[in-house]
Amino acid sequence: MSVDPKKYNKQTRFRLILWFVILLFTLGLGMIWLIYGKNAALLGLLCLLGMAIPVGLIALVMLGLDKIVKKDQ
């Protein structure tokens, strides 16, 4: 059975990013909740979501540029 290194790399990168986001939201907000309370955790969630919007937009722009460059090659 052969293994495609590009597919493996893409799958591994996706899993790392996914688990980072899951841990950030669950563990990070959970610790804020335990230490500072519910209101602070809700504010932390608001901050994380506010941060996710610009980061997501930048990622979409970069993916779009990547598609354009690969299309021209």
pLDDT in tens, 6-38: 889 989 999 999 999 999 999 999 999 999 999
Q: What is the pLDDT of residue 3?
A: 82
| H helices, E strands: number in the chain | 3, 0
Mean pLDDT of the chain: 92
Higher pLDDT, 3 or 12: 12
Show the tokens assigned to 65.
């540029």
The answer to whether residue 48 scores a pLDDT higher than 70 is yes
End-to-end CA distance of the chain: 31
Q: Which of 69, 68, 25 is nearest to 47 (CA)?
A: 25
pTM over 0.85: no
Tell me how far apart the alpha carbons of residues 39 and 32 are, in angstroms, rounded to a whole number: 9
